């Protein structure tokens, strides 16, 4: 049996924060603003995995209202979510992601991010792909004030 999950996240960008994507720190003058460390890619992947396995969503399992998740490591949240998915009998066979931001360019960091996600999700890097897109200067993402991420995964039982 196969199941598909879709995840989405968006975070404002703010000076003085680290820009994290899938656990990889990307050099940039701004970073994601969030209750946790703000890693929008890790959050979108969590929701894709949890949704495919019908195990809830990131806000339900790790609520931003809970002080214990203040500045939490999003990759630790991802590993925790994936452990739940595995315990339910699923394995990840494919993960495809789209990162939308005007800057920085994602392509130079693609393999670093893929490697970080592959390690956390216990799969080979060829099971994961990601693309960087811009918003063509439209909206808050286009103005450089936010990063938006979509993730879709395929689970197999």
pLDDT at 105: 95
Q: Domain range spanning residue 45?
A: 2-156
pLDDT digits (tens, 9 = 90+) for 30-60: 999 888 899 999 999 999 999 999 999 999 9
Q: Are strands 24-26 and 19-21 parallel, antiparallel or unpaired?
A: antiparallel
Task: Give the CATH number, domain containing residue 68.
Answer: 3.30.1330.50
Nearest to 52 by CA among 89, 2, 10: 2
Q: Number of folded domains in the chain?
A: 1
In the predicted model, is pLDDT for residue 5 greater than 90? yes
The whole-number average pLDDT for the span 16-27 is 96
* CA-only gyration radius of the chain, Å: 15
**What's the whole-model pTM score?**
0.96
Query: 150 is written with which tokens?
Result: 């979509």
């Amino acid at each position: 049996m196969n199941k598909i999950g879709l995840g989405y996240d968006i975070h404002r960008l703010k000076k003085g924060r680290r820009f994290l994507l899938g656990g990889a720190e990307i050099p940039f003058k701004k970073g994601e603003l969030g209750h946790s460390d703000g890693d929008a890619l890790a959050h979108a992947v969590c929701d894709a995995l949890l949704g495919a396995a019908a195990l809830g969503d990131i806000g339900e399992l790790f609520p931003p209202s809970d002080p214990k998740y203040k500045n939490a490591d999003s990759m630790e949240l991802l590993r925790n979510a994936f452990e739940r998915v595995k315990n339910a009998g699923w394995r990840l066979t494919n993960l495809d992601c789209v990162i939308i931001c005007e800057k920085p360019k994602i392509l130079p960091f693609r393999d670093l991010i893929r490697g970080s996600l592959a390690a956390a999700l216990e799969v080979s890097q060829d099971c994961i792909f990601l693309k960087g897109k811009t918003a063509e200067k439209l909206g808050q993402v286009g103005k450089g004030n936010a990063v938006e991420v979509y993730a879709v995964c395929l689970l197999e039982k």
